[in-house]
Structure 1
């Protein structure tokens, strides 16, 4: 909900991203021994980014959330634990909810700032998918003295 309304990516922009990724893969194939890492190029909105990276975030953050939800109860002295009784389960749920809420806000903010699906140094999206975020790329290119197409090609090469 923190993302708000996001317009769908125009077909022309999706085609430009697919072309940039194809060009990047062509360049990389000629200079590296590694096989192409992508099988598909897509343009994502911030909502698409959250939806397509959520499984990875769950794998990364679930252990942290479990620890945070139990830290409330484990920090209480034994006398307080015995007196709290049923409140302990409520405290555990509150800890998990607080962490989930903060994580959701952070992902919503991050979704508007990342340029690709691997921007934070981890492959967050589905395997073989090169994903670029056209709105964030447009915002970035406004402050640079390079043509948008060159910026897009550079980011496509980095993603590929």
Structure 2
């Protein structure tokens, strides 16, 4: 899709797909609340940019990842977005985004998600590949 977005809603109801593609016009027509319902948004123009609906934190490879450690890390998140291309490689690594790291974030419904980066490579073409192994724990109830 040229100039579109991939929306990933990690706590989507069963009646809605977890991932869907929308055009730039559809994205522009969405309300801020509708946009924030997607925990991960990939803007597919130029170099793919990954945008988080809520702040995220990258735990280093080998860190203990449990519901509690990920929930605490997500609360202090400092990553809002990153560009996945060879030109941004050093900045991305400085944020802790690398193979083996785990991105922790809160979903729009208060669940916590751990997205372990299983592959983050820069092949011969300009854009990188990012593959995730995702675990989501439910929202805490009062």
Identify the TM-score tier after normalising by the shorter chain: under 0.3
Q: Provide the TM-score with structure 2 as the length reference.
A: 0.22
Indicate the structure (1 or 2) with the bigger Cα radius of gyration.
Answer: 1
Judging by fraction of residues, say which structure has more helix. Answer: 1
More strand by share: 2
> TM-score normalized by structure 1?
0.21
Relative contact order, higher structure (CA 8 A, sep 6+): 1
